[in-house]
Structures are given as C-alpha cells and as structure tokens.
C-alpha cells in the first residue's frame, strides 16, 4: 500500500504523511463546499437570472469589506491559531443557517440571497487560505512534486460533495446538509493540526520557516496592496487571475444564454449539467494524478501556466464561428478541468518563495478582491454588451484578444518563476 502511495503522491518518505494530510485537508474543504453548491445554485433560481449580476457585485462588495478584517486578524493572531479559528467560524455560520431555515420552515428570498453570497465568499476564502498554508508547509521543489496530488484531494471532495447532496437532498431536505458540510470542516481542522506538527518536526533548515507559523504577520491590508503595486511579479499574478475570471464569467453567461434556447426541458438541462460536472471532475482528477507533475518536470511552469490561455484563445475562435451548446460545453470542460488540474496548482507554486506576509495578505487580496472584481466587471460587461445588441458569437470574438494578453502574461510569469526557482536552488544555504 505504501509503495502505491509513494508512486501516486510522488512524496519522499519523510513527506508522505504531510502529503496525505494535505490531501485530506483539501478533500474536506471542497467536499464541504460542493455539498452546499447545488443548494446555493437552486436558491439562486428563486431570485431569477437577472439578479445574478447584482449578486456577483454583492459578493465583491463583501470581499472588499472582509479583506481589511482578514488583515487585522493576521496581525492579531498567530497562523497556528488563526486558521482553526477561521474554519470554526465558518462551521458556526452553517449551524446558524441551519437554525434560521429550521425556524422559518422554508427558504425565503432574502435567505437565498444571503446564502448565495455567503457560499461564494466562503469558497474563495477557505481555498485561498488553504493554498497559503500549503506555501508555508512545502518549499518550491516539494510543491512542484506534490501539488498535483494535493489538488487531486480537492477534486475527490468535489466528486463526493455533490454525490452526497444528490443522494440525500430528496430524503432529508437541504437543511440537514448544512450540518454535513460543517462536519467536513472538522476534518479540515484535524488536518491543520497534523500538518502543523509535521512542519514543527521538519529539518532545521525548514524549521526556521516553520516557526513563523507561531508568529503574527506585521503590516496591514494597505501594506499588502502596496506589495502588489511595487511588485511586477505580483501584478502579473493579478493580471493572470483577472483574465481567467473575466473569460470564465463570459463563458458562464454564454452558457446560460445558449442552453435554454437549445434544450427547452428543465429536467433535461439539469441532467446534462450534472453529467457535465461529473466529466469535469473525472478529467480533472486524472490530470492531477497522472499529468501535473510530469508536465511541470518536463515542460516547466511556463508551459503549464500557458496551457489554459492557449485553450481559451483557440476555443474562443472556434466558438466565434460555431456558437452552439456543444462547443461552449466542450470549451467549458477543457477550461474548468485545466484550471483545477494544471493552472491552479501551477499558479500556487508562484507564491512559495515569497515572504510570509505576501503568502497570506497579498495573496488573499489577489485571490479574493482581484478574482471577484473580475467576476463583477465581466458580469456587468456581458449584460451591457447584450443590451447594446451584441450576440454570443460577437462576445466570443472580444474574448480572443483578452486570451492573447492572458497568454503573454502567463509566458512572462512562467519565465520569471523558473528563473527565481533556479536562483533559490543555487543560493548558498
């Protein structure tokens, strides 16, 4: 069994336990989220598709309010205390939603709106903090080997979560599933404790970095923003993520425009989307386990970062000529699986050599404000273009130069990251 785990995880003997706990940690987080996601999406139907742009903007506004609070927490509490506290807080929120829904007896429109925003914020914050913690636990060379396997833990959770909801929601309703989601966060708490112990027992050269888990981070949100402004490297990461968010939201709304036109029956649409999500997660899992490490080792960070912009560039051209559901779903399949399996774990390795404050505060600004600003801007831009007469094919043409700019950013980032990694390896201990 151990031989199989070593082969699949690519871990060294002293890393296997940490790799497995990181796998379990990410599994728990995404299982918790994907139990909630179908409930969130069903609730969003209560407020209607026209309200989605407003909800996207509400998520962004909430992020703007929460990022300074997160910066204050990083100054006041050590990371060893901060991370468990965050997950305990989110678990208590789920208990609160359960109590409110239990008391009201149904899902009112205002509960649906609040829950939609909360789940969207929850997903970004917990995943961002997860990868920040991974950047503290593993060094760059370890990340190149292990992040594909660790990301596969999240994909496994993304498969298990919706299966739980699909199997039990008709039997017990959505409210008890809040408790199921909260229970997965308890597994995340246990994983954090075990990973912190692993870091504390690491070798002396790594233990110096590990001791920082017991310290607070100096500075503020403004210092995190200042880091972004002063660093071309961090600004490039912002541009990379903003481009991804922009084109992802365009594709989301293009799918929402086309699918009801071609498939009139609601049950048929639901079944198609369920099969689509399953296909995305299966392909993602295969790529994470069998392709990520090989691509990073043989072709490097630059290639892996450039893969998704290339898919978006070519896919945008095909979609512009053939604006049909099969093309938009095929592009969505490649983009989503490519993001989860390749682009996301490769992007996270970019943070490994950065100082601790940038791993948490600057990274949190990028993962939350930059990501959600891309969602909000593209949502309103899409509806603005539709309102002045653009169709989905014309909007696909507009996505092509955005994808080309994204590709240029990816190539520069990959080259810079590989140069930094080489300098770190050659530097004296």
pLDDT for residue 95: 93
Contact call for residues 22 and 191 (beta carbons, < 8 A): yes
pLDDT for residue 143: 82
Helix (H, G, I), strand (E, B) or coil at 14: coil
Provide the residue-wise pLDDT of the chain in tens; the chain has 429 residues: 777 777 777 788 888 889 999 999 999 999 999 888 877 776 665 565 567 778 878 888 887 787 777 777 777 777 677 888 888 999 999 999 898 888 876 666 788 888 888 988 888 778 878 887 887 788 878 887 888 888 888 888 988 888 888 778 777 777 888 999 999 999 999 999 888 877 655 544 444 444 455 555 444 455 666 677 778 888 999 999 999 989 998 888 888 778 777 777 655 665 666 677 778 888 888 887 788 878 888 888 889 999 999 999 999 999 999 988 889 899 999 998 999 888 988 888 888 767 766 666 677 677 777 877 888 888 888 878 888 888 888 889 999 999 999 999 999 998 888 887 666 545 444
Distances (CA, A) of 68 to 102, 122, 239, 306: 33, 16, 21, 32
Contact call for residues 358 and 351 (beta carbons, < 8 A): yes
pLDDT for residue 211: 44
Distances (CA, A) of 373 to 33, 67, 286, 370, 413: 21, 13, 31, 5, 21
Q: Which of 187, 199, 197, 193 is nearest to 142 (CA)?
A: 199
Contact call for residues 3 and 11 (beta carbons, < 8 A): no
Q: Residue 359, CB half-sphere, CA atoms under 13 Å: how many?
A: 26
Q: What token pair was written down for 375?
A: 């969602």
Give just the sign of the alpha carbon dihedral 409, 413, 414, 415. positive
At how many degrees (to 10) do helices 232-262 and 392-426 cross? 150
Cα–Cα distance, 386 to 383 (Å, whole number): 5
pLDDT for residue 239: 93
**SS3 letters across 212-258:** HHHCCCCCCHHHHHHHHHHCHHHHHHHHHHHHHHHHHHHHHHHHHHH
Query: What ranges in 263-343 are assigned the alpha helix state H?
Result: 266-290, 292-298, 300-321, 325-338
Q: Quick one: how far is CA 316 from the chain centroid?
A: 23
What are the respective helix, strand and coil percentages of the chain, to the nearest 5?
90, 0, 10
Contact call for residues 248 and 242 (beta carbons, < 8 A): no
Domains, the chain, ordered by start: 10-426 (1.20.1250.20)
Cα–Cα distance, 176 to 180 (Å, whole number): 7
Cβ neighbors of 267 (< 8 A, separation 6 or more) are none
pLDDT for residue 6: 75
Question: pTM of this prediction?
Answer: 0.70
- CA-based angle 392:398:400, to the nearest 5? 110
Cα–Cα distance, 100 to 114 (Å, whole number): 12
pLDDT for residue 209: 44
Q: Which of 216, 139, 159, 141 is nearest to 37 (CA)?
A: 159
Cα–Cα distance, 166 to 174 (Å, whole number): 10
Q: Quick one: how far is CA 133 from the chain centroid?
A: 14
């Amino acid at each position: 069994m151990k031989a199989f785990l070593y082969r699949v995880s690519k871990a060294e003997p002293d890393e296997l336990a940490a790799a497995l706990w990181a796998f379990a940690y990410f599994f728990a987080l995404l299982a918790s989220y994907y139990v909630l996601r179908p409930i969130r999406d069903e609730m969003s139907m209560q407020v209607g598709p026209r309200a989605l742009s407003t909800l996207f903007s509400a998520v962004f506004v909430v992020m703007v309010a929460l990022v300074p609070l997160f910066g204050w927490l990083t100054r006041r509490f050590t990371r060893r205390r901060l991370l468990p506290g965050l997950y305990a807080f989110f678990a208590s929120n789920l208990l609160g939603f359960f109590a409110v829904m239990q008391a009201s007896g149904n899902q009112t429109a205002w509960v649906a709106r609040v829950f939609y925003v909360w789940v969207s914020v929850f997903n970004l914050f917990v995943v961002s903090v997860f990868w920040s913690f991974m950047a503290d636990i593993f060094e760059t060379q370890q990340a190149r080997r292990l992040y594909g396997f660790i990301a596969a833990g999240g994909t496994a959770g993304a498969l298990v979560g919706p299966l739980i909801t699909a199997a039990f929601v008709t039997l017990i309703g959505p409210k008890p599933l809040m408790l199921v989601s909260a229970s997965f966060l308890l597994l995340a708490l246990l994983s954090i404790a075990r990973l912190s112990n692993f870091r504390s027992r690491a070798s002396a050269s790594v233990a110096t970095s590990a001791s920082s888990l017991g310290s607070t981070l100096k500075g503020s949100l403004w210092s995190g923003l200042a880091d972004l402004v002063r660093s071309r490297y961090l600004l490039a990461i912002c541009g990379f993520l903003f481009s991804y968010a922009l084109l992802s939201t365009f594709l989301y709304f293009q799918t929402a425009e086309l699918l009801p036109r071609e498939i009139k029956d609601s049950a048929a649409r639901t079944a198609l989307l369920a099969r689509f999500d399953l296909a995305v997660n299966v392909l993602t899992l295969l790529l994470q386990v069998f392709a990520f490490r090989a691509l990073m080792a043989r072709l490097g960070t630059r290639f892996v970062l450039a893969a998704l912009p290339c898919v978006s560039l070519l896919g945008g051209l095909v979609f512009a000529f053939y604006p049909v559901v099969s093309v938009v779903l095929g592009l969505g399949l490649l983009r989503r699986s490519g993001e989860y399996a390749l682009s996301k774990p490769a992007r996270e390795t970019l943070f490994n050599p950065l100082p601790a404050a940038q791993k948490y505060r600057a990274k949190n600004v990028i993962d939350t404000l930059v990501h959600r600003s891309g969602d909000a801007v593209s949502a309103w831009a899409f509806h603005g273009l539709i309102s002045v007469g653009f169709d989905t094919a014309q909007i696909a043409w507009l996505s092509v130069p955005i994808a080309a700019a994204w590709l240029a950013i990816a190539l520069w980032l990959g080259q810079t990251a590989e140069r930094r990694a080489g300098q770190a390896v050659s530097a004296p201990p």
